Amino acid sequence: MKNKDYWGDPRYFKLFEKMEMLGIKDVSSPCQDKNGTVVWQLPIKNRYSRKGEFIEVASYEAGYVRVLNTCMSPYYINKPVFNHVTSSYSSKKPRLIPIEIERLEYLISYCLKNMYIKLANERQTLLASNENLEYEVTDLNNELHRMDDKVIQLKQDIAITEANTEFFRGVHMNAYNKMIKIKEINSIKELIYNEIDERNGIENIDSGLVSTLKKLQTNRTK
C-alpha cells in the first residue's frame, strides 16, 4: 500500500500481508491516491485482453468496488441492496461500503472466490483433462503399435504367399513341360508304331508273293 497511514493499523497490516502473499500490487496513480481511490493489480492475466494485461480492481472512497478491465467496461461488484418491501434484491442499487478497510477486505474476499479459486479450479480441470488426454494418447500409441505389428505380420504373410505362389507356379510349369514331353514321346511312339505296322504289312505281302511263285513253279514242273 502506498498510503503510509495504513502502516500503523493492524487490520491494514494483516490485509497488506494477505495481498503480498497473493501477489496483489497497488498501482494507483497519484491522482487516484488524492481522490481516495486505490487500484489493485492481480497477478492474473485478463483472458479477454489481446495485450496480455493483468486484471485490475479498484476501491472508491464513495463506497464502490469495481473490476476495471475484464469486460468492455468496468463494473461494480458491490452486493445488491435488499428491498424488504418486494423481498428481492435490486441489481441497480449496489450496497455501498463506506469504511475503507471493510471495502478492501470485501474486495480481497471477492477476488479470492471469483478469480483465484476459479482460476485454480480451471487449472485443476485442465490438468485432469490433460491427464485424460495423456491416457488417450497412450492408448492410441499402443493401438498404433498393435496396428504396426499387424501390418508387419501381414507383410510377412504376403511374402510367404508370394513365395508359395512362385513355388507352385514353378511346379505347374514343370508339370506342363513334362506333359508336353509326354505328348511328344507319344507322338514319336505313334509314328514308330505306324512305321512298324507298314513294314509288317510289306513283309506279309512279300511272303505271300514268294509262296505264290513257289506254287506256280511247282505246277510247271508237274
Summarised one tens digit per residue, pLDDT across range 89-128 is 555 678 899 998 898 899 999 998 888 888 787 777 777 7
Name the residue with higher pLDDT: 149 or 41: 41
Tell me what pLDDT residue 92 has: 66
The average confidence (pLDDT) of the chain is: 78
The structure's pTM equals: 0.53
CA pair distance 134, 63, nearest whole angstrom: 49
The pLDDT tens digits of the residues spanning 171-188 come to: 777 777 778 887 888 788
Residue 76 is given by DSSP the state E
87, with CB counted inside 10 A (0-12, 13-18, 19+), is exposed
Banded pLDDT at 207 (limits 50, 70, 90)? low
Banded pLDDT at 216 (limits 50, 70, 90)? low
Tell me what pLDDT residue 96 has: 92
Q: Which residues contact 150 (CB under 8 A, 6 or more apart)?
A: none
Every domain of the chain and the residues it spans: 4-104
The pLDDT tens digits of the residues spanning 6-45 come to: 556 788 888 888 888 889 998 999 888 888 888 999 988 8
Tell me what pLDDT residue 201 has: 66
Tell me what pLDDT residue 56 has: 92
Q: Which residues contact 30 (CB under 8 A, 6 or more apart)?
A: none
Checking if the pLDDT of 169 tops 70, the result is yes
CA pair distance 18, 162, nearest whole angstrom: 77
Strands (E), the chain: 25-26, 38-45, 54-59, 65-67, 75-76, 80-83, 88-94
Tell me what pLDDT residue 154 has: 83
Name the residue with higher pLDDT: 112 or 204: 112
